Amino acid sequence: MKKRLLLGLAILLNGCASTPPPPDWQANAFASLNQFTQAYLNGNLRIADAEFARARAEVARTGRTDLLARLELVRCAVQVAALVWTPCAGYQALVEDAAPPERAYAQFLSGRWQGLDAQQLPGHYRALVTQVQRETSDPASTPPAAGRLASINDPLARLIAAGALMQSEQPGPEDTGRAIDSASTQGWRRPLLAWLGVALKQAQFGFDTAEAQRIRRRIDAVLTP
């Protein structure tokens, strides 16, 4: 079950790979949340909603509102990966029961990184947040030449980081390209279209007609059955 461990799912189901076998609710919630993520990223929203409801029902069996808060954050993170920035209402309803790492992660997803304790975040994001905080406090600092997302290897984690970062500033071409490559390699249609749209606007802003046409062809390829 660790083959495609979702960001945040390790926090939610940290006993899922333990011995003896995990309780049924953990295994069922993991499977449904995995299906939710794949369906959402592929643009199958009806299936995504149904699978998330199943995952939530399994976690609700425990009566643990802290775990439900974590589960809601996973859904919000997947949405951020596709540049869907809606209020994380499910999490906000449970925020009083959320632990400090979940509160930090929610702040990370919102793009409000000033004062954020990077050590409370999953390891994927600590270097990125520290770098951005350094740049903000010291205007003389410059982003890494390879882009801010170069240190994040996991495709989903990279897309989530890119979506969170974009809420506070416009990503550079390097980071936009990495987000596109992450979605393209995985065949994740929804975030791919979203990030190709970002790249198209960047090309148009730079009056790069050839690049804009190339991006439009990619968008048409994704939209054409």
Task: Return the pLDDT at 150.
Answer: 87
CA separation for the pair 83, 114 (Å, rounded): 21
Burial label, 5 (beta-carbon count in 10 A; 0-12, 13-18, 19+): middle
Task: Return the pLDDT at 19.
Answer: 60
Task: Return the pLDDT at 75.
Answer: 96
Task: Return the pLDDT at 1.
Answer: 30
Please state the φ and ψ torsions of residue 61, each to the nearest 5 degrees: -60, -25
Statement: the pTM of the whole predicted model exceeds 0.85 = yes
- Cβ atoms of 17 and 2 within 8 Å: the answer is yes
The amino acid occupying position 184 is S
40 CB-side CA count, 13 A: 24
CA separation for the pair 131, 127 (Å, rounded): 6
Q: Where are the domains of the chain?
A: 9-223
Query: Digits of tens for pLDDT over the chain (225 positions)?
Result: 333 334 445 444 444 444 667 789 999 999 999 999 999 999 999 999 999 999 999 999 999 999 999 999 999 999 999 999 988 999 999 999 999 999 999 999 999 999 999 999 999 899 999 988 888 887 777 766 668 898 899 999 999 999 999 988 878 889 999 999 999 999 999 999 999 999 999 999 999 999 999 999 999 999 987
Task: Return the pLDDT at 126.
Answer: 93
